[in-house]
Chains A and B, each alone.
Chain A
């Protein structure tokens, strides 16, 4: 069985009525790769629920993890986490997952994050910028409105500091059309790399769209929650 670890809820930041960052303090550093997740073991209703959450912070902050989550209507796991008081203990295993980016690819790279799907993308993007190869890095941040893009101020700052990086808001319901317009219809370049994360059917829809358009299978990495 996996080794169980423990963190303490140190801080909470609300991004809106139903989206929250939890900051877990760890007694020992956690060695993880940008994009990985931890598997929370939540005591709910007399049983242990397993709920995976991407680590939204970077490996360089190895004793303080940020988890980003939505309050899911009727979801016992997210309701439990939203109800935790400060200093509460959170048990977890990990890190887990193979949706990772350890160095900037030697190609134009497109990150596509739908809503809280930006959680694993955020440390990936930071790592890509820290190891940049001179190729363009672009983030499409999908949300209902521009104001609901998570980490917006941080993204603006990154764009100011890194001339090879840009980000745009895309309405969630226009994401498929926008990806088609930018990366399928506009040119015949199929050397780009993609990292896609979101909740639900949009993720395999974009995966299939890009692969069918001629991008290599392994050039399209994704995580669907």
Chain B
């Protein structure tokens, strides 16, 4: 079973999700087996304003462990990440980063705000 540990800038308690990547998709938004797919299916809210179609940055996550176990990013994801606030070398879009390895152990950190929320609602 793969393990996804989720930490929140907002201060919510850490969540640990164990799942079998071979059973993806787990719901209908984001790439099958993506971080977004896994989180939503396990009751963890991750913003995804574009429906998980790689058209915004609201599902930006920072991968703190296991980035090498995720699918490689493509141009569309990298172009969007360029515009994400708080970009780090291990930033990914949750809707695009797929966990394929059944033995993977991934730790992600979810930022509190997205660029769009800051713009629209004054932070």
A positions within 8 Å CB-CB of B? 1-3, 31-33, 36-37, 39, 49-52, 93-99, 204, 207-208, 217-218, 222-225
A217 contacts across to B, CB distance below 8 A: 79
Complexed CA–CA distance, A37 and B83 (Å)? 16
Given contacts A95-B116, A96-B56, contact A1 B83 (CB under 8 A): no
B58 touches A96 (CB 8 A): yes
A39 touches B49 (CB 8 A): yes
B57 touches A98 (CB 8 A): yes
A96 touches B75 (CB 8 A): no
Interface residues of chain A: helix, strand, loop or mixed (majority): mixed
Q: Quick one: closest B residue to A92, CB to CB?
A: B49
Total number of residue pairs linking A and B with CB closer than 8 Å = 71
Complexed CA–CA distance, A121 and B9 (Å)? 35
B29 touches A52 (CB 8 A): no
B positions within 8 Å CB-CB of A? 29, 45, 47-58, 75-76, 79-80, 82-83, 115-117, 119-121
Interface residues of chain B: helix, strand, loop or mixed (majority): loop
A97 touches B120 (CB 8 A): no
B51 touches A52 (CB 8 A): yes
Complexed CA–CA distance, A96 and B58 (Å)? 8
A204 touches B115 (CB 8 A): no
Given contacts A96-B56, A98-B83, A204-B75, contact A52 B120 (CB under 8 A): no
Q: Which single member of B51, B55, B58, B119 contacts A224 (CB below 8 Å)?
A: B55
A1 contacts across to B, CB distance below 8 A: 45, 47
Given contacts A98-B83, A204-B75, contact A93 B55 (CB under 8 A): no
Q: From residue B79, how far is it (CB to closest CB) to chain A in Å?
A: 8
Q: Which single member of B80, B82, B115, B120 contacts A31 (CB below 8 Å)?
A: B120
B80 touches A98 (CB 8 A): yes
Q: Quick one: closest A residue to B120, CB to CB?
A: A95
